[in-house]
């Protein structure tokens, strides 16, 4: 008698726990509890966060300021970028993603957690979010695991990873699933990713470390050689955006910049022209054109004919350099389209993926074997 009571009791407990488990799985799907899922573009220069139901809620530089004495994070994003080159000895401003790879994981994790928490605080939903993270295409399995862990620690229920050129293509609504070749060039801060996509996969691609940061370095070293003054990264970037052009323009603008005289060690001002910047960035721009040609040469003929008809889409901040699209058009004799709002393509792509993750399952890096050997 007591044995059968005991049996009934444990049977009831078993079912009760099963029902609880099933409920907990379904809970996030209930309309009033549904999580506000998050899409993240973990770019080398900028991190953007898309919150479902709200749109893009974070668009800040991928920079973290650390107090080296205490090991604590002092600032993230805009506040941290303002500190670059201006910190006292014990505070360092770090860009955790350099050259398209996560060079400092712990700091990358802290940054990711900071932005996810920011999104969580806006969403105020009970259920834990699903997170789609766009990562530079150069990252390794180990780094993907670190991103996954960081997002989980920050409260993600599920973490899905997508390579940035694919997310950018989805963001500009290229037909990535169809048997049609689409081509995208994403010129970011650390890397330029050139990819030809068809049937949900990358057919041919190149990722090169020639992008916005390299152009800044080119400008700084040109100014050092020609004018004998040293300028910082931020000044180089500023002048690039203000007057940088890959071809001669009608206005031929100029810009006054300040730096340190190499000989006297004192501050000095010089006027640089568009022609100076064009000469400084010329070899890197030529390298980008060359790499695009190489990708086209490696593309199978059927897909190449699609690309010839449909053209190439440019995304990422580097797509905004004046005259770059015209230069590609002239060199390749193909239609070139600059994506609308090129700096947000990747994060918009993660938002589109969030709307229906099942459709994009085959595109996402769900387990480590999915990643091509680097
Ligand atoms: P990432 O995806 O690596 O974070 P982004 O797509 O955010 O990079 O692009 C950042 C790069 O774009 C920076 O190097 C920045 O200097 C450059 N950039 C942004 N706006 C412009 C512009 N108007 N002209 C030229 N370069 C630009
Ligand atoms: Mg990017």
Q: State the CATH number of the domain containing residue 192.
A: 3.30.420.40
Let me know whether 231 and 354 are in one domain: no
Residue 74 within any structural domain of the chain: no
d(CA 214, CA 224): 15
What is the pLDDT averaged over residues 58-78?
92
Residue 312 within any structural domain of the chain: yes
Let me know whether 229 and 354 are in one domain: no
Residue 6 within any structural domain of the chain: no
Ligand 1 pocket, CB under 6 A: 43-46, 188-190, 212-213, 237, 240-241, 244, 316-318, 320-321, 343
Let me know whether 189 and 321 are in one domain: yes
Q: Which residues, in sequence order, are bridge partners of residue 92?
A: 66
pLDDT of residue 371: 53
Residue 1 within any structural domain of the chain: no
Domain hosting 351: range is 38-62+99-167+347-370
Residue 91 within any structural domain of the chain: no
Specify the residue with its C-alpha closest to ligand 1, atom 8: 188
90/366: higher pLDDT:
90
d(CA 209, CA 27): 44
pLDDT of residue 374: 46
Let me know whether 206 and 351 are in one domain: no
Q: Which atom of ligand 1 is nearest to the CA of 188?
A: 8
Distance 222 CA to ligand 1 centre (A): 20
Percent of the chain predicted with pLDDT > 90: 65
Let me know whether 111 and 252 are in one domain: no
What is the pLDDT averaged over residues 277-294?
98
Distance 136 CA to ligand 1 centre (A): 14
Site to probe by mutation for ligand 1, drawn from 44, 233, 317 as the one with most ligand atoms within 8 Å of Cβ, is 317
Specify the residue with its C-alpha closest to ligand 1, atom 19: 317
Q: Which atom of ligand 1 is nearest to the CA of 46?
A: 4
> Is the pLDDT score of 243 beyond 50?
yes
Residue at a domain's end among 232, 256, 281: 281
Site to probe by mutation for ligand 1, drawn from 39, 42, 44, 45 as the one with most ligand atoms within 8 Å of Cβ, is 45
> Helix (H, G, I), strand (E, B), or coil: what is residue 27?
helix
Lowest average pLDDT, out of 1-10, 161-170, 345-354, goes to 1-10
The ligand minimizing its distance to the Cα of 346 is: 2
pLDDT per position as a tens digit, 159-170: 999 999 999 999
| Structure-token pair, residue 199 | 């049937």
What is the pLDDT averaged over residues 253-263?
95
Let me know whether 290 and 274 are in one domain: no
Site to probe by mutation for ligand 1, drawn from 318, 327, 342, 350 as the one with most ligand atoms within 8 Å of Cβ, is 318
Question: Could you tell me the end-to-end alpha-carbon distance of the chain, in angstroms, rounded to an integer?
Answer: 66
Q: Which atom of ligand 1 is nearest to the CA of 237?
A: 16
Lowest average pLDDT, out of 105-119, 264-278, 330-344, goes to 105-119
> Is the pLDDT score of 59 beyond 60?
yes
Let me know whether 205 and 110 are in one domain: no
- Count of structural domains within the chain: 3
Q: Which atom of ligand 1 is nearest to the CA of 215?
A: 14
Let me know whether 206 and 218 are in one domain: no
Residue 299 within any structural domain of the chain: yes
Q: Which atom of ligand 1 is nearest to the CA of 190?
A: 3
Distance 168 CA to ligand 2 centre (A): 8
d(CA 77, CA 107): 12
The ligand minimizing its distance to the Cα of 210 is: 1
Residue 302 within any structural domain of the chain: yes
pLDDT of residue 281: 98
| Structure-token pair, residue 201 | 């996969």
Residue at a domain's end among 233, 249, 281: 281
What is the pLDDT averaged over residues 262-289?
97
Residues, beta carbon < 5 Å, ion ligand 2: 43, 188, 346
Let me know whether 194 and 314 are in one domain: yes
Residue 260 phi/psi, 5-degree rounding, is: -105, 130
Let me know whether 145 and 193 are in one domain: no
* Radius of gyration for the alpha carbons in the chain, expressed in angstroms and rounded: 24
Distance 236 CA to ligand 2 centre (A): 20
Residue 290 within any structural domain of the chain: yes
Indicate which CATH number applies to the domain containing 247: 3.90.640.10
| Structure-token pair, residue 187 | 């010129």
d(CA 111, CA 77): 8
Site to probe by mutation for ligand 1, drawn from 84, 188, 212 as the one with most ligand atoms within 8 Å of Cβ, is 212
Let me know whether 151 and 249 are in one domain: no
Distance 91 CA to ligand 2 centre (A): 27
Specify the residue with its C-alpha closest to ligand 1, atom 20: 317
Let me know whether 250 and 300 are in one domain: no
Lowest average pLDDT, out of 94-98, 124-128, 274-278, 359-363, goes to 124-128
Confidence of residue 25 (pLDDT cuts 50, 70, 90): low
Task: Name the DSSP class of 130.
Answer: E
The ligand minimizing its distance to the Cα of 323 is: 1
> Is the pLDDT score of 30 beyond 60?
no
pLDDT of residue 91: 87
Residue 302 phi/psi, 5-degree rounding, is: -60, -45
The average confidence (pLDDT) of the chain is 90
């Amino acid at each position: 008698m007591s044995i059968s009571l005991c049996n009934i009791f444990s049977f009831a407990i078993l079912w009760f726990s099963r029902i609880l488990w099933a409920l907990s799985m379904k809970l996030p799907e209930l309309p009033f509890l549904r999580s506000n899922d998050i899409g993240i573009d973990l770019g080398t220069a900028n991190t953007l966060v898309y919150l479902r139901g709200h749109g893009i809620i974070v668009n800040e530089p991928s920079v973290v300021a650390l107090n080296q004495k205490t090991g604590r994070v002092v600032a993230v994003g805009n506040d941290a970028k303002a500190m670059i080159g201006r910190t006292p000895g014990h505070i360092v401003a770090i860009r955790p993603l350099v050259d398209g790879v996560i060079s400092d994981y712990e700091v990358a994790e802290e940054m990711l957690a900071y932005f996810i928490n920011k999104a969580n605080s806006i969403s105020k939903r009970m259920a834990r979010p699903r997170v789609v993270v766009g990562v530079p295409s150069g990252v390794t399995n180990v780094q993907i695991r670190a991103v996954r862990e960081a997002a989980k620690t920050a409260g993600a229920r599920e973490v899905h990873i997508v390579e940035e050129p694919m997310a950018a293509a989805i963001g500009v609504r290229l037909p990535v699933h169809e048997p049609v070749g689409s081509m995208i060039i994403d010129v970011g801060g650390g890397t330029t990713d050139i990819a030809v996509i068809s049937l949900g996969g990358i057919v041919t691609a190149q990722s090169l470390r020639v992008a916005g940061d390299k152009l800044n370095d080119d400008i700084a070293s040109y100014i050092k050689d020609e004018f004998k003054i040293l300028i910082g990264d931020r000044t180089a970037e500023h002048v690039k955006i203000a007057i940088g052009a890959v071809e001669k323009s009608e206005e031929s603008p100029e810009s006054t910049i300040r730096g340190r005289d190499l000989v006297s060690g004192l501050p000095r001002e010089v006027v640089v022209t568009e022609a100076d910047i064009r000469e400084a960035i010329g070899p890197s721009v030529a390298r980008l054109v060359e790499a695009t040609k190489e990708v086209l040469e490696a593309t199978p003929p059927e897909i190449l004919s699609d690309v010839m008809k449909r053209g190439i889409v440019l995304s990422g901040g580097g797509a905004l350099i004046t005259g770059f699209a015209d230069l590609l058009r002239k060199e390749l004799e193909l239609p070139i389209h600059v994506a609308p709002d090129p700096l947000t393509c990747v994060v918009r792509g993660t938002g589109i993926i969030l709307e229906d993750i099942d459709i994009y399952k085959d595109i996402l890096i769900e387990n480590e074997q999915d990643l091509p050997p680097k």
